[in-house]
Each structure stands twice: as C-alpha cells, then as structure tokens.
Amino acid sequence: MKKSTITGALLMTLFSAAAFALPPALPKIGGIDFKPPKGDRLVMDNGMVVYLMKDNTLPVVHMTAYIRTGKLNDPIEKIGLGEMTAGLLKDGGTLKYKPEEIDKTLEFLAASVESSMGIEEGRADLTTLSKDLDAVLDIYADVLMHPAFAEDKVKLRRDETLEMIRRRNDDPGRAVVREALRSFYGPAHPYGWRSEEATVNAVTIEDMKAYHANYYKPNNIILVAAGDFASNGEMMKKLEARFGAWPRGEVKFPVIPPVQIKGERQVFHIEKDISQAFIVMLQKGIKRFDPLEYPLTVTNEILGGGSGLSSRLAAEIRSRRGLAYTVYSYSAKKPDYGYTLAYLGTKPETYSQALSELLKQFKLITEVPAPADEVTRARDSIVNSFVFRFPTPFDLITERASYEYYGYKPDYLDNYVENIARTDSKAVLETAKKLFKPEEAMLFVIGNSKKFDKPLSEFGTVTELKED
Amino acid sequence: MKSLALLPMLMLCCASLYAVEGSKDALPPGAAIEKDPRYPALVSYTLKNGLKLLILEKHFVPTVSFTMVFKVGNVDGTQGKTGLAHLMEHMAFKGTKTINSAGYDKEKTALDKVEKAAKALIAEESSSSPDAKKLEALRKAQAEAEKEADNFIVKDEYLNLYKSLGEHAMNAMTSTDYTGYVVSLPSSRLEAWMTIESDRFKNAVLREFYRERSVVMEERRMGEADPNRLMWETLTSNGFTAHPYHNPTIGWMDDLTRLTRTDAEQFFKTFYVPNNATLSVVGDVNPAEVIRLAEKYFGGWESKPLPDRTYTKEPPQKSEKIVNVFFKAKPAVRIGFHVPEVTNPDTYPLIMASEVLTNGKTGRFYKNLVEGKELALYAASGNSFPGNRYPSLFVIMSAPKAPHTVDELDSAIMEEIAGLKKVPPTQWELDKIINNYQAEMIKQLESNSGLGMNLAQNEEILGDWKYDWKTGDELRKVKPEDIIRVAEKYLTRDNRTVVFLREPLKKD
C-alpha cells in the first residue's frame, strides 16, 4: 500500500533526479565517525557465497541474490530472454507451488519475492516480516531453484513485454537515453541493444528452462540477508536447509564482442513535435577497474554530477540562463569501455544555446584547471555524504556483496574515501583531458526541428532516424 | 479477524526498541515523549511562535534527515497566479540577506531595478497589442538590470554550503496541499542546519527570480511532453471546475509569464511563518539538544495570523465527463470520482474499496483485467487525489494491451466497479489488506527521510503525526457492507470524469 505512488504524479520537485565562505554565524562542524561494519561472509559447500548481518531494529528480514548473468548474455536473436526468465521465476510457479498459491501466500503475509534482470546482473529479492521468514524463504528457495514456467503465465509475460515495446517511445526523455546508447555502441552490441518484437517472440519455454539451468547455480550466486534473525548462525542454518543440497555445476558464459566506438562527431536526430528537445551527448568512458575512477568521480561532481544544482552544467545552463529544468552528466563503468553521458531538456527554440553551452563546459574543464576550492568542495561532497550509502544494515551488506560480485578488491569500500580524497586540481585536469573530447562526442536529439533556433547540421553531419 | 491478533505484538516490538535508545538528557517543559507502545517513541514540542517539532531518534548510522513542511500549496494561490507556490519553492534555494549576497544593501537597489524592468516588460507583453520594438528594448533593459545585480551575487553559495557539508537528497516539493523542504546530513551538522535554515526561512532573498521562472517554464514543457503528467493535469482541470484543485501545481503557462518577484515575496511573507509549519528531525540526534537549538535559532521567527483558507466548494457533479486527449503516445485512461475530504469517515471504506481493487496480483483489477480478460497492461486505483485538505478524487489509472482499446478497458473497469457493489469482499481479502497496511507501517520506519516526510506532512496537513497508525485502526473496523455503501454512493457514472489518451487522428 504505497501511499506515494499516486500523489507522486503531480508532485513538483526541485530536481528531477540529482568563492566559498561559511557565513559568520555558522558553528564549528564535528567529524563523521563511522566505519561500516563488515558483517559475515560465508561459503556453502556447493559454492554459494552468503553475506549476513543481523539487525533486530525492526521485525523485518530482507534478502537479495546476485546471479552472475545479465541482459548482456542474451543471444542476439533472442534479446529479452534473460529478462523474461527472471520475470517468470516466481510468476510462472515452481515444482512445489502453483503461481496462484505463491501470490496468495505472499500477499496475505505482506511479503514479497521478486526477481529481475539488469544489464550485468540477475537479482532475486525477498522482504518479509520476520515471523513469516520460514514460509517465505521456502517459496524464495523454490523460485530460485525450481521454476516451472507455466504456459499461461509465459504468454501473459510475453504479451506484457510486447506491449512495453509498443510503448517504449511514449516518454521521449527516456527514449532519448536508450536510443543514444543504441547508436553509440551499435544495435548489435549488448551495451546498446534493445529487445524487439521478433526477439521476444523467438524466446521459447525451453530457452528459459535452459537459461535458468545454466546460470542459476549455487556457485554462480551471492546471497545477502539482513534483518531480524536470532543470529547469523541460525540464519545460515535456514539457508543450508534450503540451498545446501542444490548441486554446483559449470556455467557457460557467451563471449561478449569488444566495444567499438567511432571517435568522431556524429549527430542523430529523431523528428518529433513535442514541447521540449531532448538531448543526449555521449563520449567514451572507462573500464571498470581503471584507477581513473576516483578523479573521474570528482570531475563529474564538479561538471554535472552530484544530487544538486551546484554543478557547472546546472549552474550555467539552468540557474544562470534558465534554459533547462533537467541537466546533468555522469560516467558509467563497464567491463569494456563505459561512457560519459550528458543530458538536457530544453525548448526547441533555445536548443542550440543549451547544447553549445554543454559542449563549452566539457571543453573548458579540459583546458583550465578547476579552482582548488571547487575541487575541495566536490571532494568534500563525496566524502561527507559517503555514509548515506548505508542507511540500513541491509543496504550496507548488499553494497559489500555487490563489490565482490563486480570483482572489486575486498578493501575497495574501506579505501574509497581515501582514494577520492587524494584527487586534486591537477588530477581533475588530466582526467578531463584524457576522457573528454567534446568535439568527437556523439549527439542525439529528439525534437521538433522546425522550431530549432539553428539547424542541427551546425553541430555535425546529421543522420535522421525514425522513431520505432 | 483471526489473522490480526498478531499485529499489536509486532508494533510493540518495534516501538519498544526506540523507547530504550538514545541519550537520557532531560527534555524541557512542554516536550512530550510518546509512551503508547503502539507508536514510535517520538518527542514532540511546539515553540512559542507555533513551529511544531517532531523528533525521532535512530542510531544505526550517524545521519539525520530534516523535513520542513509548510501548509501551503497551489490550492492557496489566486486565480491568475497559479504556480506561485511551486515557483516560491524554487526561489527558496537562492539564499538570504547574508548567503548568496556580496552585500545586501547595494544588491537590494539592483534587485529593485530588475523588478521595475520586469514589470514594465510584463505590462507590455500583456497589453492588447504589444509593440515588437518596445518589447525588444524592454527585454534588453531587464537583461542589463539583471547583469548589474549579478555583481552583488555570490552564485550558488547556499547550494555549495550544503555540498561541503555532505548533504544527501537535498530537495523540495510542492503539491496542491503543501510545500516541503528536505535534506539529510551527517548528524554532526545539526547546528549548521539550524543556522542556515532559520536564516533561509526568516530572511530569504528571491534573487535571480526571472531566470528561475524560465526554469519552471522548462519544467512545465517537460511535463507537456510526458503523457502521464498530461493525463493527470487533464483529469484535475476537468474534474474540478470551481475549486482550486482545478489548477495544476506547476501553474498555467500563461500565468507563469506574468508572475513577479513581488508576488512571490508577498506569498512568502503570508505563508512561510512558523505557525504554518512542522519540522521533523529523524536520525542520530539527542532530542533535548534539537529542542535547545531550535529554540535558539527558530525562536525569533515571527508568527503571523494566516489568511482564511475557505475556497469555492466544488459543486456536485451531475453528469459524466469524458475527455479525449489526442497525443503521440499509446492509449491509456485515467478516471476520477469525487469523494469527500479525508476527515470524512467514508474515507476508510473508500481506501478499503480501492485496495480490494488494486492490492497485488490477488487484487481484483490484476486478477480480472490484467490476467482473466487480458485487457490491461496495468490497472490501479487510489483514494484522495490530488490532495487531502479538501474534497478530492478517487482515481483509477490503466492502459490497454493492444489490440484492446481504452473503450473496452473502460467498460471492463466499470464492470469491476459494479462488482464492488454486488460482490462483498471476503474476509480473506480484508485481512490481506490490513496485513499489508500494518507491514507498510513497520517498513516505513526503515527510512529516516521517508518517515520524516510522513510524520511532518501528517502533522501539518492532517493535524496528527499518528494519522497513519490511527487510519490502520479505522481500516480494521470497515465491514463489507461499508464498502458496498461507499461504492454505491461515490463510484457512479454521473460522478466521474474520464480522460482517454488516444493516438492522434489521421488527418484528412
């Protein structure tokens, strides 16, 4: 019974997302004394890794599982296979439980078991009041180990997926990001692709069963549990009882083709008569374990990141010129080359002013060293808000598990703050010089070109695309 | 209701934990700690100027979430100045006489020049035949005045202060009913927050007003491109004809073009007063210290009498209203039925009715519309939209799965509504809803910021921070016949407004 789902629709918020002097009266500020607790990491005989943290604050237990797969492992002719499989683990019933039985039990207990598929991770989540843990855990375990993929539920899920495809361009602000990445990485690369009617229709029940049999194995899963259990030992016993006999096995991973990015300016445009022009700019980013991560994080905080409006892009394009409500940038790390993305929405009559300023700001940070106080502020912002990554013990232990899942060193989290604190003005300049080449950036625009203040061709050779 | 026997025990065990936590500093006279184990052990206190404080200790991480809620929203705006509440919310990030300013005395003169120029421009723009040359000159004059005022601005100092302090999720929100300001900080910043925010709400300076107005116009355009927002706006503007819930919170574009800094200052002076606000502080704090600091920093904030908030009552709707919106997006439907304000006891059976329809995959909408007939991609309902302060709407939102149409979907939805009047909910359905409500009440205690917003809003808008807990008690009393009664009374054709989103007609 989420109260906010409806009222959220008309609530206006300040942000859509994301010479310094303290006023004389500002009091002295104390430090932040918090060392994130470690929790327990255990490994079952069948290879399943388990992270546990007891927390009796509230009579609730949360769990999540990381399953080592992701949308990027779909076969190209069956894009959508992973997502459909994950979506049907619970909805399609299990060997032991009919779908209706699962829904009735969980919903009566106000518990939830949900599984999903991200680009690089499969997940399965559980939330329950602690009094119902055993009953809900029984369902969760059967969902992970023995999904049945009931035919009528498969049809329902497929129809839903197809309807979502039909609706994928309804919100141009979302469409522009998806389509920009698709053009950036190419529609045949898993970092850029999207499912289509044909690829979703090609997925069979046998495919889903095979997908599940390959990836959902104990030695391919990291399980996380936090909350109201008597002790970590007791919780481990419960998990052993459910998952202990699940046999380990070999997992076959497909080879992901290397990323190929054209290092030259390309402009893509989709004609659409709407009240704003939606613009995405993309540049080549870094691979996951590149130590440039730290200075890049600080650089982005200065340029277009952070949760607020004090970044350069927000200050110049939004606050000083009033050209946009939403404007930001961020960098995404990937196993292969990630990307730096900048986004803005502005009326078509001023699109070129906003876009020119965006390009200018990316250029500026590669040319002029950022003032020391600006770098300090960005660093402080990241360091001082670090503690917000762990609002609850479950968030904390999940974060730790995610670093193992993504292959970071065990001390990554504990050294993060120190690594950020090391970044100075010089590092920001060098990182920006190395990674930002706005003159080569790809630009993607959805909007009404009849109202544009300048032809888009002034920004490069335009490839016209059709919304589909 | 056998299944409910467990629930009081659950509530007890979460509440007792709060009761024993934290420091033992003596609370000042007038402060009360909640002792009833059904509720969290919250400390409440009201300053002499009327500012209400709600403080809840939580200590896992050294952080604290602040929420300041003012009982002022778009509903309190005047015709011709819609959107002012929301624009004012944006302006509250622009600093004070000492923050963002390089010297307020000189800045004030410069800002007054901007205001004069802006008013001249608005007057010409609003005239029956605006002169193009004159407009250009006036625009230039305003830009020049703004440039001059820039000399006295320390840009974004307010935002940068919070950035250095390590803010998390700093934001603000305006609805038709209320305006809220939120930020979370490391808990060692408690006094810094008190210092900055007391200055913010006592001494706000609305600099860079016309630029921010342009930002809000972009926000409006963003919404116009989003079919979802478009449908909600269409529903309220057609569902309400006389009551100000008719107006979109973001404001009509034409009104936005004429809003001035003077308007916003007047609005600020009228409604941003301590006797119109509640502050919740949730996290790693000592309540006695919070009260001491609040007295120190907010004690001098002057209270003022508030204007009367009686607005034109919406006349009874006597005919079904159907609106077709043609838009470049796939079809969808929004329906609203007029219902009374939330203090009316019919609210509880209406909430239960909504939950019978929409609660999970075992809810009737999912079972019959999404599965069963396979008509809908989704279908959901909710009571009390767009607000809680005045009579509102019971809403239904849904979208069809091709090749089905919104018309087929609407018929099926109305069949479900008819079903609500004929087939009383089973005990199982009712128990399930109550179980879910109670579980939500426990889970909401997990998030400091979410809980803080809930407490402050319920106190300021509904008059009681325990509102959600008490609602739970009331929902348990609802009987199947109550649900049938309210469905028959309110969920009728002549009491509804329907918005169909349809793909554009092919041009001849």
Please state, in angstroms and as integers, the Cα–Cα distance from residue B496 to each residue in B227, B385, B405, B422, B486, following that order. Answer: 21, 13, 20, 19, 14
Among chain A residues, CA nearest to B10:
A59
- Domain-embedded: residue A236: yes
Task: Read off the pLDDT band of A35 (50, 70, 90).
Answer: confident
* Count of positions (residues) in chain B: 508
The pLDDT value recorded for residue B473 is 96
Mean local confidence (pLDDT), A125-143? 98
Domain check: are A239 and A281 in the same one?
no
Domain check: are A275 and A156 in the same one?
no
- Domain-embedded: residue A229: yes
Q: How far apart are CA B146 and CA B168, in angstroms?
A: 31
Indicate the pTM of the whole model. Answer: 0.94
Tokens matching residue B454: 């809930």
Of the residues A2, A4, A7, A12, the best mutation for testing chain B's interface (the one with the most B CB atoms within 10 Å of its CB) is: A12
Report yes or no: A230 at the B interface, CB cutoff 8 Å: no
Report yes or no: B73 at the A interface, CB cutoff 8 Å: no
Mean local confidence (pLDDT), B100-122? 97
Q: How far apart are CA A445 and CA A465, in angstroms?
A: 10
**Phi and psi, residue B351, nearest 5°:** -65, -45
**Beta strands across the sheet bearing B332-339:** B321-326, B496-502, B332-339, B392-400, B376-385
Continuous H helices in B69-189:
84-91, 104-126, 132-150, 157-165
Task: Read off the pLDDT band of B261 (50, 70, 90).
Answer: very high
The pLDDT value recorded for residue A308 is 66
Report yes or no: A9 at the B interface, CB cutoff 8 Å: yes
Task: Read off the pLDDT band of B505 (50, 70, 90).
Answer: confident
**Percent of chain B whose pLDDT exceeds 70:** 95
Interface of B with A in 162-221 (CB under 8 A): 162-176, 184, 186, 188-189, 191-192, 195-196, 199, 208, 210-219, 221
Task: Read off the pLDDT band of B508 (50, 70, 90).
Answer: low
- Domain-embedded: residue A291: yes
Residue among B3, B90, B167 minimizing CB distance to A385: B167
pLDDT tens digits, one per residue of B211-244: 999 999 999 999 999 999 999 999 999 999 999 9
pLDDT(A222) > 50: yes
- Domain-embedded: residue A309: yes
Q: Which helix (H) or strand (E) holds B170?
A: strand B168-174
SS3 assignment for B254-305: HHHCCCCHHHHHHHHHHHCCHHHEEEEEEECCCHHHHHHHHHHHHCCCCCCC
Interface of A with B in 133-162 (CB under 8 A): 156, 159-160
| C-beta atoms of B163 and A59 within 8 A | no
Interface of B with A in 277-306 (CB under 8 A): none
pLDDT tens digits, one per residue of B338-391: 999 999 999 999 999 999 999 999 999 999 999 999 999 999 999 999 999 999
Domain check: are A225 and A270 in the same one?
no
| C-beta atoms of A6 and B156 within 8 A | no
pLDDT(B13) > 90: no
For residue A221, what are the β-bridge partners?
A: A67
The pLDDT value recorded for residue A320 is 95
Domain check: are A314 and A283 in the same one?
yes
List of chain A residues whose C-beta atoms are within 8 Å of the C-beta of residue B361: 103, 107
Contact by Cβ (8 Å): B491, B414: no
| C-beta atoms of B62 and A345 within 8 A | no
Report yes or no: A56 at the B interface, CB cutoff 8 Å: yes
The pLDDT value recorded for residue A390 is 87
Interface of A with B in 23-52 (CB under 8 A): 23-27, 29-34
Domain check: are A287 and A207 in the same one?
no
- Closest C-alpha to B325, from B261, B412, B384, B406: B406
Domain check: are A81 and A220 in the same one?
yes
> Exposed, middle or buried, A287 (CB in 10 Å: 0-12/13-18/19+)?
middle
Report yes or no: B361 at the A interface, CB cutoff 8 Å: yes
List of chain B residues whose C-beta atoms are within 8 Å of the C-beta of residue A318: 215
Contact by Cβ (8 Å): A440, A263: yes
Q: How far apart are CA B131 and CA B62, in angstroms?
A: 60
Domain check: are A54 and A183 in the same one?
yes
- Closest C-alpha to A304, from A252, A347, A354: A354
Domain check: are A213 and A329 in the same one?
no
The pLDDT value recorded for residue A25 is 60
The pLDDT value recorded for residue B75 is 98
pLDDT tens digits, one per residue of A45-65: 999 999 999 999 999 999 999
What CATH number does the domain containing A456 carry?
A: 3.30.830.10
Residue among A1, A5, A32 minimizing CB distance to B62: A32
**Percent of chain B whose pLDDT exceeds 90:** 93
Report yes or no: A309 at the B interface, CB cutoff 8 Å: yes
- Domain-embedded: residue A258: no
- Domain-embedded: residue A11: no
Residue among B156, B227, B440 minimizing CB distance to A170: B227
The pLDDT value recorded for residue B1 is 29
| C-beta atoms of A319 and B433 within 8 A | no
Interface of A with B in 435-454 (CB under 8 A): none
| C-beta atoms of B199 and A23 within 8 A | yes
Contact by Cβ (8 Å): B355, B364: no
Contact by Cβ (8 Å): A443, A281: yes
| C-beta atoms of B208 and A103 within 8 A | no
| C-beta atoms of A308 and B90 within 8 A | no
The pLDDT value recorded for residue B22 is 46
Backbone CA torsion sign across A81, A82, A84, A88: positive
Domain check: are A135 and A211 in the same one?
yes
pLDDT(B81) > 70: yes
Of the residues B2, B60, B217, B445, the best mutation for testing chain A's interface (the one with the most A CB atoms within 10 Å of its CB) is: B60
Backbone CA torsion sign across A345, A351, A353, A358: positive
Task: Read off the pLDDT band of A182 (50, 70, 90).
Answer: very high
Better-scored residue on pLDDT, A211 or A3: A211
| C-beta atoms of A14 and B172 within 8 A | yes
Residue among B166, B195, B438 minimizing CB distance to A25: B195
Task: Provide the mean pLDDT of chain B.
Answer: 94
pLDDT(A242) > 80: yes
Task: Read off the pLDDT band of B17 (50, 70, 90).
Answer: very low
Tokens matching residue B38: 């059904």
**Beta strands across the sheet bearing A462-465:** A327-332, A339-346, A277-284, A442-447, A266-271, A462-465
- Domain-embedded: residue A178: yes
pLDDT(A16) > 60: no
- Closest C-alpha to B355, from A407, A160, A2, A364: A2
Domain check: are A199 and A308 in the same one?
no
Report yes or no: B98 at the A interface, CB cutoff 8 Å: yes
- Domain-embedded: residue A222: yes
Based on the structure, what is the number of domains in chain A?
A: 2
Domain check: are A75 and A207 in the same one?
yes
Rg of chain A over CA atoms, in angstroms? 24
Among A356-365, A380-389, B272-281, B490-499, whose mean pLDDT is lowest? A380-389
- Closest C-alpha to A69, from A206, A200, A214: A214
pLDDT(A282) > 80: yes
For B382, what's the count of Cα atoms within 13 Å in the CB-facing half-sphere? 18
Q: How far apart are CA B502 and CA B123, in angstroms?
A: 39
List of chain A residues whose C-beta atoms are within 8 Å of the C-beta of residue B438: 110
Contact by Cβ (8 Å): A9, B232: yes
CB contacts < 8 Å between A and B, how many?
286
Task: Give the residue numbers spanning the domain of A303.
Answer: 266-465
pLDDT(B431) > 50: yes
Q: Which residue has the tokens 């009552």?
A: B313
Mean local confidence (pLDDT), A182-209? 97
Question: How near does any CA of chain B get to the CA of A262, in Å?
Answer: 31
The pLDDT value recorded for residue B224 is 96
Please state, in angstroms and as integers, the Cα–Cα distance from residue A418 to each residue in A372, A379, A415, following that order. Answer: 18, 10, 5
Report yes or no: A353 at the B interface, CB cutoff 8 Å: no
Domain check: are A152 and A219 in the same one?
yes
pLDDT tens digits, one per residue of B405-425: 999 999 999 999 999 999 999
Please state, in angstroms and as integers, the Cα–Cα distance from residue B349 to each residue in A60, B344, B413, following that order. Answer: 28, 11, 19
